[in-house]
Each structure stands twice: as C-alpha cells, then as structure tokens.
A = this chain, B = another copy of it.
Amino acid sequence: MRCQSNEELEALVEEAKQLTKHGKVADYIPALALADEDKLSVALYYPDGRCYSAGDTSENFTLQSISKVLTLALALMDRGEEYVFDHVGQEPTGDPFNSIAKLETNKPSKPLNPMINAGALAITHMIQGDSVSDRLERLLLFIRKLSGNDSLTYNAKIAQSEYETGHLNRSLCYFMKQHGVIEEEVEDLMDLYTKQCAIEMNCLDLARVGCVLAMDGADPVSGEQIIPLDIARICKTFMVTCGMYNASGEFAIKVGIPAKSGVAGGVMGSLPKKCGIAICGPSLDDKGNSIAGVRLLEMMSKKYSLSMF
C-alpha cells in the first residue's frame, strides 16, 4: 500500500521541523548517534485503508521503547493478565525510565509498569518459546502481522551495539534476578531484549500497527482479531499513563492521544476507534521524546481536535 502525500500535513511537518535543532539524537547507543537529526516524517493510517503521510516515510528506524507495547501485548496473550500483573505493576512513576531505586524500595520488588526498562525486561522475559531465537521469531511474526510487512526484521548492528553497552539494563536484570522477578540467564534476556529494541520498520508500517491497536486489535484490512480487545485496551491505557517517559502527563494534557516513543525518534499513536499515527524524528528533547514529533502531534491534536479527553 502507498500513502497519499498530504499538503496540510506537509505544512505542519515543515513548521514542527524547526524544532529539531533544539534537540539532539540519542548518543548513549553509538549506532543511534549516526541518525540524521534534521529528519521528520509522519504517517496516518485509517481503518478504511486510507493513509496520509508527509516527509520521507520510506526510511527505516528501530522501534526501541516502542517495542515495549508490542511485547506487552504478546506477553499478555502468552501468559494472561493475572500472571503478567502479578510480576509487573500497572502504575505510572515519577522516576526516570531507567531508574532502579523503586525496585529497591518497593517490597516485594516489582517493576512499577511495563513501560520503564525494568518492567519491559520482565515482560520480554515472559515471551514464550524454546530458545531466544524461537522467542524472537514469535515476536517478529507477531509484529509482521500487525504491520502488514512480512519482511521486517531487526537491525543486527544496532542490536549488537546496545548489547555491548547495556550495563544499566544488566544491572536491572540482575537486581530482578536476585528478587525472583526474572529467572533466565541475564545474557539470554539481554540478547532477546536488544534485538527486540532493534526491530526496524518505516512510518507506514508503524502507523498500521497503531491502527490495529486503535481498532481494538482488529486488522484493518482482513478484520482478523490479531490482539484480543481487552489487551489492545490495556496497551493504549499504558500508552496514556506512561508511554512518553517522564513527560507522559504533559503529553496527555497537550496532545491527548495514546502514544509510545522510542529513543530512535519514533512515536506510535493510537487514536481509539479512529486511526494509527507514526512519526519519526530522531532529534530528542531532554525527556527522550522526538522533539519535533511531539510538537507535530500537538499541532495535529489542536488542528483536528484529536484529544480523547
């Protein structure tokens, strides 16, 4: 499928783009530091198949934290709501996404929610399969189905880069292993997690994934229920309460669309019953969200009255 270019959208992108120079690309993962920080693109995917875009939407980027929503959906399908939330909490937190302090102060030790790194690692731990490669394959199949892109895979170079430098995530893993939150070998989990974060797609693919969540889990083309309704709702709820790192509250107020961002500059939005949205803009603000992407969503929300509140 091809998206129609849209003039109005192009104008908004041009305006929002001016912000890119006030942010900077993620540099804590060496391979991400190479991204072009001036870029900004957006795609909207509607359940009737219409699709609009602006900017260069053909370029791939890695999902990074956006993948946390998708592994959550799969883990909920694999394990059920009760099991998942016995091990990972449902509450937003005022702490940074990579913080370890709450794991220590909360008794029993339990990550506060699936969107912070500790919780996401615990969720990835729940993906079923006989081996890391088996579990990765299941996750890839699931995401290919959601995106309609049968050939997508992960970027091995970026996965490797994150694997080598991810000491903070290892620290979280070992802390959770000590407390029985995770049981497998930490290096196995790190292997799976870094590959998951490095899954690549373009804006069109991602907007389609957002659309499936928006439509309560149903494929917009075939109507197939890829994700059960309850689970799709859970995903959107976490996107509102903690999808945009430590700016989730502000984003909910200014934009009002369930959304999840990643440090490669991607943002996936899911407007309930309406459409999926995807943005890629690698220049990040100090909270780790695409600086121009957030502004673009704010402008779109105001102009088209998209807030769900």
Instruction: Assess whether A252 is in contact with B258, with CB atoms less than 8 Å apart.
Output: no
Partner of A249, one of B113, B168, B250, B256: B113
Instruction: Assess whether A309 is in contact with B236, with CB atoms less than 8 Å apart.
Output: yes
Q: Mark A286-309, 1 if CB is under 8 A from B, else 0.
A: 000000000000000000000111
Q: Could you say how many copies of this chain the assembly holds?
A: 4
Instruction: Assess whether A309 is in contact with B92, with CB atoms less than 8 Å apart.
Output: no
Q: Mark A63-106, 1 if CB is under 8 A from B, else 0.
A: 00000000000000000000001000111111100011110110
Instruction: Assess whether B309 is in contact with A272, with CB atoms less than 8 Å apart.
Output: yes
Instruction: Assess whether A309 is in contact with B101, with CB atoms less than 8 Å apart.
Output: no
Question: Which segment, of A52-60, A120-128, A239-247, faces chain B?
Answer: A239-247
Q: Which B-chain residue is minimally distant from A235 (CB atoms)?
A: B309
| A174 contacts partner chain B, Cβ-Cβ < 8 Å | yes
Q: Mark A18-43, 1 if CB is under 8 A from B, else 0.
A: 00000000000000000000000000
Instruction: Assess whether B168 is in contact with A178, with CB atoms less than 8 Å apart.
Output: yes
Partner of A91, one of B104, B172, B236, B246: B246
Chain A contributes a number of interface residues (CB within 8 A of B) equal to 48
| A234 contacts partner chain B, Cβ-Cβ < 8 Å | yes
Contacts of A89 in B (CB 8 A): 249
Q: How far is the CA of A237 from the CA of B237 in the complex (A)?
A: 12
Contacts of A95 in B (CB 8 A): 94
Residue pairs across A and B with Cβ atoms less than 8 A apart, 28 shown, are A85-B250, A90-B249, A91-B247, A91-B248, A91-B249, A92-B92, A92-B241, A92-B249, A94-B102, A94-B112, A99-B104, A100-B171, A101-B105, A167-B174, A167-B175, A167-B177, A170-B170, A171-B173, A171-B175, A233-B256, A233-B307, A234-B253, A237-B253, A240-B309, A241-B249, A242-B249, A258-B309, A308-B308
Question: Given contacts A92-B249, A167-B177, A170-B186, could you give 16 more A-B pairs where the C-beta distance is less than 8 Å?
Answer: A89-B249, A90-B253, A94-B94, A100-B100, A105-B105, A171-B173, A171-B174, A174-B174, A233-B256, A233-B309, A234-B309, A237-B249, A237-B256, A240-B240, A240-B309, A258-B309
